[in-house]
Amino acid sequence: MALTNSNINLIRAIAEGNVHDAKTFALLSLKEDKTKKNEWATKNLIKKLSCSGLGITEAIPADIKTALIALSGKEFVPEQYYLRDAEKQLYDDILTMSLTAKNLSEMGINYSNTCLLYGPTGTGKTEFAKYLAQKIGKPLFYVNFSQAIDSYLGNTAKNINKIMMFAAQWPCILLLDEIDCIALKRKESGESANGELMRTTISVMQAMDSMPPNVIMLACTNKMEMLDDALLRRFSIKHEVKNMSTPELDAMIQQYIKATNTEQYVTEEDIAELTTSYHNPGQIIPELNRKIGKKYYKANADMLKADAQKAATAEFTDIWDVTETYTIRVQAESENEAITAAKKAKSDVYYASNRGKSEWIAKRIEESVN
Ligand SMILES: Nc1ncnc2c1ncn2[C@@H]1O[C@H](COP(=O)(O)OP(=O)(O)OP(=O)(O)O)[C@@H](O)[C@H]1O
Ligand SMILES: [Mg+2]
């Protein structure tokens, strides 16, 4: 019997150690098999594979969860992201680099699929990584080195290696943020060059050399001049994310207020003030949000006050609505079950009462209990 395309893709994924693709193609292979004799087995395996979840967050091993975050893309709003010509060009270059890496890998040549973003704080380096992930539809794994060093105390090298090996199983974007926390030039790190940091840097470099071509590695720093040369050499692209020019800042603000539908709260003078006082989105967006907030409050004060009044005096009728914490806590499936459970374990009522809005629920439950 000839292998189907899904079978071949499954075998390729196993050969490349790509768990995500292997699961996807295993699922497809099972769904393609319509034979009677395999009916029972396929049904069960489809269920098992679907339940084991192709979800990335669930797949991250517990011991590396503190330093590795899988960003879902939900927190990135593309309409609010202003793409400058320089970063548009970078996007094209990364795609070209990625294809180059893939083609060369098929010829047995290892080409590093890596890009270093450097530039002042707030210029949008991390935001660009989110844009890239969203645009090419790959998951974004985020590693923050300052957090990793803090949380792994003495075991950073080992855990960073684990993180990189884990990411290597998925077609993804691996973002190494604040890479200067580990890979400083020897003279910058001084006589007391920490062995742990050195080992971590070596671990990162080794992993970079062996990353499969379907992983795009991005690293960010605002201390480019202090980075170790051996690490710098490993990046195929080094891109400076600069502060924005006044016309760029202006265009970014215009796009942002349009995307958030807040044009009525921002005047020409506000924009002029922001673009002359600041140089990058990291400085401007929070300031702009404050301005919008103030004007929104002013324009809607009466309505907001009336709403607040209503909320304060509202008679809640459906306690089940807000007993989610309690449901989880007592594993109850209905309001009545929750109350019965509360009777059994009265202390839980006080647990609920510590949870803000739940104070009111606690009172209601207590009334029913007594
Ligand atoms: N191109 C952009 N368009 C719109 N908003 C942006 C853009 N770039 C960045 N921002 C906004 O600026 C904030 C700061 O950007 P970001 O965190 O990417 O800066 P950074 O260069 O990574 O800074 P740091 O070096 O401190 O890590 C983002 O949270 C986002 O709100
Ligand atoms: Mg950043």
Q: What is the pLDDT of residues 45-57, one digit of tens each?
A: 887 776 554 467 7
Least confident range of 16-30, 191-205, 298-312, 356-370: 356-370
Ligand nearest to the CA of 117: 1
- Give the number of other Cβ atoms within 10 Å of residue 59's Cβ: 16
pLDDT at residue 44 greater than cutoff 60 = yes
Torsion-angle region of 110 (φ positive above 0: left; ψ -120 to 50: alpha; else: beta): beta
Q: Which DSSP category does 73 fall into?
A: S
Which phi and psi angles does 235 have, rounded to 5°?
A: -90, 125
Please tell me the distance between residue 126's alpha carbon and the centre of ligand 2 in angstroms: 4
CA 307, distance to chain mean position in Å, is: 35
Please tell me the distance between residue 95's alpha carbon and the centre of ligand 1 in angstroms: 22
Residue nearest to atom 4 of ligand 1 (CA): 81
Does domain 59-240 bear CATH number 3.30.460.80?
no
d(CA 181, CA 136): 29
Token pair for 144: 């923050």
Asked if 108 and 123 count as a contact pair (C-beta separation under 8 A), the reply is no
Residue with tokens 């009728």: 317
Q: Is 227 helix (H, G, I), strand (E, B) or coil?
A: strand
Pairing of strands 68-71, 140-144: antiparallel
For residue 125 and ligand 1, the question of a CB distance below 6 A is answered with yes
Q: Which atom in ligand 1 lies closest to the alpha carbon of residue 128?
A: 18
d(CA 281, CA 244): 8
Q: Which residue has the higher pLDDT, 364 or 241?
A: 241
Asked if 157 and 203 count as a contact pair (C-beta separation under 8 A), the reply is yes
pLDDT at residue 259 greater than cutoff 90 = yes
For residue 122 and ligand 1, the question of a CB distance below 6 A is answered with yes
For residue 160 and ligand 1, the question of a CB distance below 6 A is answered with no
Which residues touch 228 (CB under 8 Å, ≥6 apart)? Answer: 183, 184, 185, 186, 201
Average pLDDT over residues 251-257: 97
Residue nearest to atom 15 of ligand 1 (CA): 124
Q: Which residue has the higher pLDDT, 27 or 74?
A: 27
- Smallest CA-to-CA distance from 217 within 87, 98, 83 is with 98
Q: What is the pLDDT of residues 275-294, one digit of tens each?
A: 999 999 999 999 999 999 99
Q: Which atom in ligand 1 lies closest to the alpha carbon of residue 127?
A: 18
For residue 127 and ligand 1, the question of a CB distance below 6 A is answered with yes
For residue 121 and ligand 1, the question of a CB distance below 6 A is answered with yes
Ligand nearest to the CA of 257: 1
Q: Which atom in ligand 1 lies closest to the alpha carbon of residue 285?
A: 31
Tabulate helix, strand, coil % of the chain (nearest 5). Answer: 65, 10, 30
Residue nearest to atom 24 of ligand 1 (CA): 121
For residue 123 and ligand 1, the question of a CB distance below 6 A is answered with yes
Percent of the chain with pLDDT over 70: 78
Q: What is the pLDDT of residues 97-131, one digit of tens each?
A: 999 998 998 899 988 899 999 999 999 999 999 99
Q: Which atom in ligand 1 lies closest to the alpha carbon of residue 117?
A: 21
Please tell me the distance between residue 242's alpha carbon and the centre of ligand 2 in angstroms: 13
Ligand nearest to the CA of 282: 1
pLDDT at residue 270 greater than cutoff 70 = yes
Which phi and psi angles does 187 have, rounded to 5°?
A: -70, -25
Among 91, 125, 127, residue to substitute to test ligand 1 (most atoms within 8 Å of Cβ): 127
